[in-house]
Amino acid sequence: MAKHRVKEEKLLRIRLGSRYVGLDLGQFYWECLKLAAASEELTETDILRRVIRTWSETLPPAIQEKARAETTRVEAWKAQELRARQDAKLQAKQARLSTRRAKLRGKGPAKAQGPFLRRRERIEAS
């Protein structure tokens, strides 16, 4: 019951805000949608998807088909861009690894350096 009252109070504040502050109708509609969707536990993205789907169903079939084709084209482009980015990242990583391996190969066996290793060599020698 308290949840319902909170929603009603928020709606009242929105109405008052739109009257006194001058919120536009779109903002008012959006706030109402968010309140209505809160009971269904929908995210803002889900709300937008529903609104867009409902709106797009009112469009003529030719425009709907164009929109589907454009959506498919954009999704393919996004997938290609993502693959290119991942390939570039992988190539950069492989380049770093190959330079690191080349440096390690060029060094040869590890040399005894530092006072601790020198001291151990002296102990073995005596």
Contact 67, 56 (CB under 8 A): yes
Residue 71 has pLDDT above 90, yes or no: no
Give residue 83's pLDDT. 96
Give residue 46's pLDDT. 82
Contact 41, 50 (CB under 8 A): no
Give the Cα separation of 67 and 76 in Å (integer).
Answer: 14
Residue 108 has pLDDT above 60, yes or no: no
| Mean pLDDT score, 20-26 | 60
Confidence label for 119 from pLDDT (cuts 50, 70 and 90): low
